[in-house]
């Protein structure tokens, strides 16, 4: 049986942050990811050359108010740019027809050049060769006298001295057997919502930012939908784009009717002479079995996580690190960074104490 020192299960931003710090400190790390890509809820729409054009997952950071984000952007030398918000918004569903009106922006809101995917790539780049194992779904974690036995979906097992569980907690509780875990821990995992897991996001690419020519910000606030809100999503490299959050529930998001309804809403809000998008991409996270469970369809935001999720288990060998367990920004990019670095610090401290 293969023996490793520290296994990190899940290569989303939190797991990558933890693995990045452990590897930088000289620890032996294996990073297991069930999907064929890294990033988890962070995902980019890319062109044929691999250039990130838009964010299909989270977009914004608030460096003045998010200390972990500010530290990591500086450490990884990743520049930001402000969210475009100049001009009127379009408001619909409150009057007989859409109207123009100003809407305030959020203090400190910024975007990362290259999107949050640039943060993911920067975390992964220095990992040792062979440390990352894609398409490797762990299905069982079992306590052994000298570590934890991890078994994957193919039945292959390895022995890890310590393990960091860094996958959405409801997914882990449903898909990973942990027979030695306390009942209270499994209950807390099943009760923890995965932020934005039930959401769908649409990205619309254009040849020019026509809304700016109309004196508009690109924002839409709607009670009619299917997009409840829309924002300018033009990239730092100049690709004009809009993105919107879909307000329809998951069971109503059949692709063809949704596409038709989105295009009709764009016509209502920007007028019949507005150009049609060059491409329209919907990322429905509720359909991703590695991200969302039916319990996440209600869109609940995680609250302050219970202490049991921030404590080690299985003789101190199992640590939990996912954005939702951060007491500072649960569910957000800042929370993922905070939880990843907290877990890495705890593991390195335990190593030094030996």
Q: What is the pLDDT of residue 353?
A: 60
Q: What is the pLDDT of residue 352?
A: 65
Q: What is the pLDDT of residue 81?
A: 97
Please write the tens of the pLDDT for every residue from 132-160.
Answer: 999 999 999 999 999 999 999 999 999 99
Q: What is the pLDDT of residue 349?
A: 86
Phi-psi region of 42 (alpha: psi -120 to 50; beta: other; left: phi over 0): beta
Cα angle 172, 174, 179 (rounded to 5 degrees) comes to: 80
Q: Which domains does the chain have, with CATH numbers?
A: 1-47+67-78+115-195+302-354 (3.50.50.60), 82-112+198-287 (3.90.660.10)
Question: In whole angstroms, what is the distance from residue 261 CA to residue 217 CA?
Answer: 22
Residues of the chain with pLDDT under 50: none
Q: What is the pLDDT of residue 354?
A: 58
Distances (CA, A) of 127 to 136, 245, 330, 340, 341: 17, 34, 26, 15, 15
pTM: 0.96
Q: What is the pLDDT of residue 303?
A: 87
Q: What is the pLDDT of residue 304?
A: 87
Q: What is the pLDDT of residue 203?
A: 98
């Amino acid at each position: 049986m293969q023996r490793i020192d520290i296994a990190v299960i899940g290569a989303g931003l939190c797991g990558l942050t933890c693995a990045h710090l452990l590897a930088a400190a000289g620890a032996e790390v294996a990073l297991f990811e069930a999907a064929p890509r890294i990033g988890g809820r962070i995902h980019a729409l890319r062109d044929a050359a691999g250039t990130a054009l838009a964010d299909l997952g989270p977009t914004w950071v608030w460096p003045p108010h998010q200390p972990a984000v500010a530290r990591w952007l500086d450490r990884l030398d990743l520049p930001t740019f402000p969210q475009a918000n100049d001009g009127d918004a379009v408001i619909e569903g409150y009057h007989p027809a859409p109207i123009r009106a100003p809407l305030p922006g959020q203090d400190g809101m910024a975007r990362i050049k290259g999107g949050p995917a640039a943060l993911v790539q920067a975390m992964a780049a220095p990992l040792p060769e062979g440390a990352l194992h894609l398409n490797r779904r762990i299905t069982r974690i079992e306590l052994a006298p000298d570590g934890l036995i991890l078994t994957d979906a193919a039945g292959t097992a390895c022995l890890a001295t310590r393990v960091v569980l860094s996958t959405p907690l409801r997914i882990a509780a449903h898909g990973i057997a942990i027979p030695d875990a306390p009942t209270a821990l499994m209950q807390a995992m099943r009760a923890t919502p995965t932020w934005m897991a039930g959401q769908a996001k649409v990205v619309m690419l254009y040849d020019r930012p026509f809304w700016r020519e109309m004196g508009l910000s690109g924002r839409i606030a709607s009670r009619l939908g299917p997009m409840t809100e829309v924002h300018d999503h033009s990239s730092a490299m100049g690709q004009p784009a809009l993105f919107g959050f879909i307000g329809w529930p998951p069971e109503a998001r059949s692709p063809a009717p949704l596409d038709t309804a989105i295009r009709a809403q764009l016509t209502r809000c920007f007028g019949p002479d507005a150009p049609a998008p060059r491409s329209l991409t919907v990322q429905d996270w509720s359909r991703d079995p590695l991200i969302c469970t039916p319990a996440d369809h209600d869109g609940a935001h995680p609250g302050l996580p219970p202490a049991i999720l921030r404590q080690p288990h299985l003789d101190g060998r199992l640590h939990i690190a996912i954005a939702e367990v951060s007491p500072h920004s649960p569910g957000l990019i800042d929370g993922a960074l905070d939880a990843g670095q907290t877990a890495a610090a705890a593991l390195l401290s335990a190593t030094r104490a030996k």
